[in-house]
Each structure stands twice: as C-alpha cells, then as structure tokens.
Amino acid sequence: MTQTIVDIRDLYVQYRTFDGQAKVLNGVNLTVKKGEKVSIVGETACGKTTTVKSILRILAPQASIPRGEILFNGSDVLKMGYSELNKLRSSGASMIFQDPTMSLNPVFTIGEQMEAVIRYSGQSGVEQKSVRHELAVKALEETAMPDPERILQSYPFQLSGGMRQRVCIALSLATPRDLVIADEPTTNLDVTIQDQVLKILKQRVEAKGCSLILITHSFGVARETTDRIYVMYAGNMVETAPTQELFREPLHPYSRALMSCIPRLSGGGMAEGIPGRLSNYHNPPKGCRFAPRCPEAMPRCHEEKPESIDVGREHQVACFLYDKDGGK
C-alpha cells in the first residue's frame, strides 16, 4: 500500500477578527500519498492557503483550530512539540510562496540563504561549508539556472522574478523532503515564464520522488502539473478526483461552474462567470455553503451540510444531488 504523507481529517480553522470569529475552514479532508502530485483549486479566499499553512503550523497568531487532525507521516502535527515541528519544517516539508521577492531576505546573498537552509536540514555532512556549497550549486543547476556560482554571490534584487522563484524551488529541494507545498508559485511572474517555472517544479518534484501540493486558481495549471485535483469552495473540499476523471466528468455544481469559465480555443462564447459571491465567513450559510449561488439548490441544501461521499474510484463529492453510486 502506498504510504500516506499528509492526511488532514475534518479540519476547522477560524480567525479572530474585529467582527468576531471568521469560520474559514469547515471540516476539510485531504490526503496526499507518497510521490503524488495534488492541486487545490478554488476562488481567491476560499481557504486554500489556510489549509496548507495548517500543515506547517504557520497560521497567523489570530488563527485557532477548534477541531480536526493533521497527520504528517502518521504523526499528529497539532500535537507536535517544538523540536518535532522544527524537524517537520527543516526536513519534512517545504513551502514555495507566491511572491519570491518576499520569500528571500534582501540583505543576504542567495548563497548565504541557501547554505543556511541546507545547514538547518540537519543532513549528514552539512556542517562542512564545502558540502553546503556543493549542494547549493547542484540545486541551482537542477533548476536550469545559468552560472550558479554567480547566482550564489548575488543578492535577490539582482535577479529577475523568474530567477528568484527558481531559487525558491532550488531552496525547497536542496535537501531531501517528503512534501513540497507550492502556493500559486507563478502568479507574480510574467506569463512568458510561468510555464517554464511550473515545468521545472514538476520535473524536480518527480526527480526527487517527493509529493506536491500545488495551490492554484487555474484548472489549466492543475491539469498540466498534478495527478489529482481537490476543488475547494468556502472552506470545504467539495470534490476530489484524479485529474483526467474530473475533467471528463465534473460532478459538483461548483466544479462544473468553474470548468465552464475556462476559455476554449474552439470558441463557444465568453464564460459568464459564477453569479454571486463567496459566503461571509462570519455568518456562513447553515447548510451547503454553495447554496446561495447554486442553480440546483434544494430546500435541504439550506439546512444541512452535505458530507463527502464516494461516487467512483478515488472520486468523492459533497453534494446532495448524488447518491453513493454516483447517480443523480
């Protein structure tokens, strides 16, 4: 049986705000197997980043987790002490953030930052500067970075946005990891280099045999990069399936609405978008959070929260329209 790297069960996260508690995550379930590449797709502010930050326990101080479990290689992240958390962050999982400029320290060279990360990993031999330097050069070479020695002596401001993000990819994979989390890693880059950076990320993750969680609002990016897609709406995973199957047969009304927004080269008119807006997290709908925007909502949808059910092999959907056999 394939090893499970991440197993999030029934996770609730809320944020303390001036207007009261914002109940963002509403019982999230997510599983990532060893070597699996998974994406989380959904609108801005639907809880994607909160979900992955929970895995590393790097949520903002005003966040709290009233319920749920996050297992990383079988250990409960929410019960980890300081040293276990350090180990998780230094050698278990790494995260590539949206903005590479904010991820890198402007007053240290790339070499100083890479060597610090490599040293922190605790891998054997990294106490020696020559080993750290060698690993840093190798990691940069693996991301197709020209002249790694020069890059190591450069400060972040001396590199382009695409190069900075490639440095972040190199940083996240310079030492062995079980999981890489990439939070919209190409959003702040020029369109011309987005594809190149994604290809490098995918290729490096595959070469190292680690798992990937990619956050994106683009189904196209998810399709190109990952094996499985989780569709997220207002703090709930509303559907998950292997990538090809989800594209062949999206079941949840929100997944179908998102798919209808993808522009097609063959034409067919402009997408209309999804009417309405994301629910208010301070006072979310009692039942299905998509009900106020769902064209197929029934009275029951406004009262009860739909649970996720199996509708096929590795295909789950949380919607009252489906029974366990996937029929309507």
Which residues of the chain form contacts with ligand SF4 (CB under 6 A)?
A: 252-253, 288, 290-291, 294, 296-298, 301, 306, 319-321
Nearest distance, CB of residue 250 and ligand SF4, angstroms: 12
Give the max Cα distance, the chain.
Answer: 67
Nearest distance, CB of residue 206 and ligand SF4, angstroms: 34
Residue closer to ligand SF4 (CB basis): 40 or 234: 234
Nearest distance, CB of residue 27 and ligand SF4, angstroms: 14
Nearest distance, CB of residue 322 and ligand SF4, angstroms: 8
Residue count of the chain: 328
Residue closer to ligand SF4 (CB basis): 92 or 253: 253
Residue closer to ligand SF4 (CB basis): 63 or 246: 246
Asked whether the beta carbons of 27 and 73 are under 8 A apart, the reply is no
Which uninterrupted H or E stretch holds 13? strand 4-17
Residue closer to ligand SF4 (CB basis): 159 or 291: 291
Asked whether the beta carbons of 97 and 165 are under 8 A apart, the reply is no
Which uninterrupted H or E stretch holds 24? strand 20-33
Nearest distance, CB of residue 11 and ligand SF4, angstroms: 20
Count the Cβ atoms, other than its own, within 10 Å of residue 109: 16
Count the Cβ atoms, other than its own, within 10 Å of residue 182: 28
Residue closer to ligand SF4 (CB basis): 10 or 296: 296
**DSSP assigned state of 51:** H
Burial class (CB in 10 A: 0-12, 13-18, 19+), 267: exposed
SS3 182: strand
In the block, residue with structure tokens 């009261």: 20
Residue closer to ligand SF4 (CB basis): 16 or 286: 286
- Using CA atoms, how far apart are residues 144 and 308, in angstroms rounded to an integer? 42
Residue closer to ligand SF4 (CB basis): 39 or 255: 255
User: Strands 179-183 and 93-96, how do they pair?
Assistant: parallel
Nearest distance, CB of residue 305 and ligand SF4, angstroms: 9
- Using CA atoms, how far apart are residues 83 and 86, in angstroms rounded to an integer? 5
Nearest distance, CB of residue 293 and ligand SF4, angstroms: 8
Residue closer to ligand SF4 (CB basis): 126 or 291: 291
- Using CA atoms, how far apart are residues 36 and 33, in angstroms rounded to an integer? 5
Nearest distance, CB of residue 328 and ligand SF4, angstroms: 10
Dihedral of CA atoms 59, 60, 62, 68 in degrees, nearest 10, equals: 0
